[in-house]
């Protein structure tokens, strides 16, 4: 029950893109069409879940015993970069289909602040291993949901008449504002 | 290009936030007040300066193949420095900015300048580039922060502004307001750029 609350709260109420402003670069950059948005969303979901688990373990079993918690930032970013490379290799070996779908998006994820952000948040709010993984998975799912919605709206925007100065990125921010407003309606759904 | 032009370039023509649309996450997340925006901008500018100098000095030594991981380590070193310094000397600001201080590591502006400029230029121009870009980023954040604090809270740097504090538009300091302010300001700058011609 607790885990379900974490999952839905981070997926919908405290959405990574709309409420925490993490992962905005792909949100604006890879949301031109629904297909690539879905692939990006999947890839982020995958990496966020895995990174949550791995960084939790690294923090708890390496950094804490050695008393070098201040190295968190450096260690986490390296762990994530390595993890992404590793995931890429595994996918290449196991599933050529998945490789074709996620291929070009995986390297981009290393510098996605949603991934590092979720790892830091896990540690900051003292989550257990299972909670961290669920938190990462929910965050990724929320990211995928919102980026797909955004892509759907942007496909429609292409045929809308937008003032020249607002075309492209500016109007996407306005769309983001409206989405964030509507997602605020879910606030209070889960305590915490 | 003269030093002055180089410096100004980061502020207007290639402003990282409004012209290149880089580093958006902290731009939206911490600009609920002018003080937070300035703190974030200066912290990022410090990291940019440090990493640009270090990368420019090491540009002959870092092998091209492993340059990205090397840059990341250099950048995160400076981020850790500023993170610890702010925790020690400015605890309020540090807790207001939260995880966005460590997240400077993945700010595309810093990586972008390292890759596009500092890794190919001598120290002098790298410093000028970092100062220009850092100022451009700080000014952009300060502008968004002032608009949001002024209209969303009726204050500026914590002092209430007569006339505006009676009826604050609270939505502007909530998350949707960040998207709205950013979209409208971007549109305004595009409009100005289009009016002045290419």
For residue B1, pLDDT over 70 is answered with: no
Most confident of A77-91, A129-143, B64-78: A129-143
Chain A residue with minimal CA distance to B100? Answer: A117
User: Domains of chain A: which residue ranges?
Assistant: 28-182
Chain B residue with minimal CA distance to A73? Answer: B102
User: Domains of chain B: which residue ranges?
Assistant: 3-149
**pLDDT tens-place string over residues B40-60:** 999 999 999 999 999 999 988
ipTM at complex level: 0.86
CB pairs under 8 A between A and B: 112
In this structure, are residues A128 and A136 in contact, taking their beta carbons and an 8 Å threshold? no
Which residues in chain A are closer than 8 Å to B80, comparing Cβ atoms?
A: 70-71, 73-74
**pLDDT tens-place string over residues A42-54:** 888 988 999 999 9
- Say yes or no for a CB contact (<8 Å) between A171 and B105: no
Q: Which residues pair with A96 in a beta bridge?
A: none
Q: How many CB atoms lie within 10 A of CB A100?
A: 11
Q: How many CB atoms lie within 10 A of CB A149?
A: 18
For residue B166, pLDDT over 80 is answered with: no
Q: What is the pLDDT of residue B167?
A: 81
Q: Which residues pair with B155 in a beta bridge?
A: B160
Q: Which long-range contacts (CB under 8 A, 24 or more apart) does B172-175 make?
A: B172/B147, B172/B148, B173/B32, B173/B33, B173/B148, B173/B149, B174/A184, B175/A18, B175/A19, B175/A21, B175/A180, B175/A184, B175/B28
- Say yes or no for a CB contact (<8 Å) between A166 and B190: yes
Query: What is the H or E stretch that residue B36 is in?
Result: helix B34-57
Q: What is the mean pLDDT of chain B?
A: 88
Q: What percent of chain A has pLDDT over 70?
A: 98
**A131 confidence band (pLDDT: 50, 70, 90):** very high
Per DSSP, A59 falls in state: I
**Residue A168: strand, helix, or coil:** coil
Least confident of A152-156, A168-172, B7-11: B7-11
**pLDDT tens-place string over residues B100-159:** 999 998 888 898 888 888 888 899 999 999 999 999 999 999 999 999 998 888 888 878
- Say yes or no for a CB contact (<8 Å) between A173 and B186: yes
- Say yes or no for a CB contact (<8 Å) between B106 and A166: no
Query: What is the H or E stretch that residue B159 is in?
Result: strand B159-160
For residue A175, the Cα-to-chain-centroid distance in whole angstroms is: 19
For residue A35, pLDDT over 80 is answered with: yes
- Say yes or no for a CB contact (<8 Å) between B108 and A111: yes
CB nearest to A81's CB, from B72, B182, B194? B72
Q: What percent of chain B has pLDDT over 70?
A: 98
B88 touches chain A (CB under 8 A): no
Q: What is the pLDDT of residue A103?
A: 67
Q: What is the pLDDT of residue A191?
A: 57
For residue A125, give every residue at least 6 positions away whose Cβ sits within 8 Å of its Cβ, in sequence order, or none.
Answer: none
Q: What is the pLDDT of residue B109?
A: 87
In this structure, are residues B149 and B34 in contact, taking their beta carbons and an 8 Å threshold? yes
User: Cα separation of A97 and A91, whole Å?
Assistant: 9
Backbone region of residue B121 per phi and psi (left: phi > 0; alpha: psi in -120 to 50; beta: other values): beta
Most confident of A79-83, A105-109, B43-47, B106-110: B43-47
**B198 confidence band (pLDDT: 50, 70, 90):** low
User: Cα separation of A160 and A128, whole Å?
Assistant: 47
B77 touches chain A (CB under 8 A): yes
For residue B163, the Cα-to-chain-centroid distance in whole angstroms is: 30
Q: What is the pLDDT of residue A118?
A: 92
User: Cα separation of B176 and B28, whole Å?
Assistant: 10
Which residues in chain B are closer than 8 Å to A23, comparing Cβ atoms?
A: 25
């Amino acid at each position: 029950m607790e885990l379900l609350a974490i999952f839905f709260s981070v997926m919908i109420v405290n959405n990574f893109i709309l409420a925490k402003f993490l992962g905005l670069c792909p949100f604006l950059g890879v949301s031109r069409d629904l297909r690539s948005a879905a692939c990006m969303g999947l890839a982020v979901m995958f990496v966020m879940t895995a990174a949550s688990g791995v960084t939790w373990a690294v923090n708890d079993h390496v950094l804490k015993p050695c008393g070098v918690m201040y190295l968190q930032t450096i260690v986490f970013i390296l762990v994530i970069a390595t993890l992404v490379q590793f995931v890429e290799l595994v996918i290449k070996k196991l599933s050529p289909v998945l490789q074709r779908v996620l291929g070009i998006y995986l390297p981009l994820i290393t510098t996605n602040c949603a991934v590092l952000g979720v790892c830091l948040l896990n540690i900051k709010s003292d989550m257990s291993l299972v909670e961290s993984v669920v938190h990462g998975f929910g965050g990724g799912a929320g990211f995928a949901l919102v980026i797909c919605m955004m892509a759907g709206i942007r496909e429609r925007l292409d045929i809308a008449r937008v003032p020249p100065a607002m075309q492209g990125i500016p109007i996407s921010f306005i769309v983001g504002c409206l989405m964030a407003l509507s997602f605020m309606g879910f606030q209070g759904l889960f305590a915490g | 290009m003269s030093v002055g032009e180089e410096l100004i370039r980061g502020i207007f023509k290639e402003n990282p936030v409004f012209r290149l649309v880089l580093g958006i996450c902290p731009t939206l997340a911490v600009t609920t007040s002018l003080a937070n925006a300035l703190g974030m901008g200066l912290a990022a500018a410090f990291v940019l300066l440090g990493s640009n100098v270090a990368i420019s000095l090491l540009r002959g030594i870092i092998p091209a193949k492993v340059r990205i991981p090397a840059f990341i380590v250099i950048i995160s070193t400076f981020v850790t420095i500023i993170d610890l310094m702010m925790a020690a000397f400015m605890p309020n600001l540090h807790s207001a900015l939260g995880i966005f201080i460590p997240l400077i590591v993945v700010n595309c502006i810093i990586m972008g300048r390292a890759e596009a400029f500092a890794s190919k230029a001598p120290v002098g121009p790298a410093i000028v580039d970092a100062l220009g870009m850092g100022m451009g980023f700080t000014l952009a954040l300060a502008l968004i922060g002032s608009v949001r604090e002024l209209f969303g809270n009726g204050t500026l740097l914590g002092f209430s502004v007569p006339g505006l504090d009676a009826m604050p538009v609270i939505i502007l300091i909530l998350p949707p307001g960040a998207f709205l302010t950013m979209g409208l300001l971007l549109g305004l700058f595009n409009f100005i750029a289009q009016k002045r011609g290419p």
